[in-house]
Amino acid sequence: MTLQEWLPDLRDRLSRVPSDDTMRDIRILAAHAMGVSPSRMTLHMHDELSDDMVNHISLLMDARMLCTPVSKIIQKRSFWGREFAVDLDVLDPRPDTETLIAAALDLGAQSRVLDLGTGTGIIGLTLAAEWPNAEVVCTDISEKALAVAKHNKNALGVADKVTLLKSDWFEAVNGQFDLILSNPPYIALDEWDDLDFEVRTFDPRLALTDEADGLSAYRTLTQHAGLHLKTDGHLMVEIGHTQGSAVQALFNSAGFIQIKCLPDMAGRDRVVKGVWSTQ
């Protein structure tokens, strides 16, 4: 049997799973099982599948039928042109976070960078790869998340300039930085039930919600960042699309200047940034 011959049945099996693109899901899962690039799957649609390959693809499809996200099934996600390992212990990286990376890169290369709540490491490790001379510290309260970040920093070849640190926000952080970034848990508790089933079930709750109003992390970040920022250093955070005004107000109250809210590709508020001034 070939994948082309099997396709109608696979589409039928996944037809009840909410997805933006069922055919893309099939292509990625089949490519993963077959050890080929998803972009080259059209060249392999008529390859004869061995019994082992059929069983492997079936297992992946069974996982998808349970609404397991494709990235959590294949345990990897592309972000800013690089591949990152993901599992059930870390937040699945989203394209929205690339807005935060773009904002950081617009500053030009920074010498010392702090990524708080790093998860997979996508923010700190991406900047370490983009800025070869930068010293980057990535923190997380979860040892399991730090294990994933360690794998990713080794895979990306930036291990020599990235320090991973277990810390509850700034608790174990020492020194000052040119740039502090974070994508903290910003889902309010009363928004929890409205999240997609895949998000609620397969991303760690600790990385999604503060179990309160969604602003707890921003209060901590803005109140304590100044102790760890050089004069004229920057704080940048990802936000929920309704939180722009509230987070900007927290930046202002903490003494930041040049505060701006930046939109994502869909035009929604996504990043708040500000400059630390001791004046």
Task: Give pLDDT tens digits for 50-106.
Answer: 999 999 999 999 999 999 999 999 999 999 999 999 999 999 999 999 999 999 999
Band the pLDDT of 277: cuts 50, 70, 90: confident
Q: Which two tokens stand for residue 229?
A: 């920022």
Query: Mean pLDDT in the chain?
Result: 96
Q: What is the largest CA-CA distance in the chain?
A: 72
Task: Give pLDDT tens digits for 2-59.
Answer: 999 999 999 999 998 999 899 999 999 999 999 999 989 999 999 999 999 999 999 9
| Total-model pTM | 0.95
Does the pLDDT of residue 278 top 80, yes or no?
no
Rg (alpha carbons) of the chain, rounded to whole number: 21
Task: Give pLDDT tens digits for 142-169.
Answer: 999 999 999 999 999 999 999 999 999 9
Predicted pLDDT of residue 81: 94
Count the Cβ atoms, other than its own, within 10 Å of residue 196.
Answer: 12
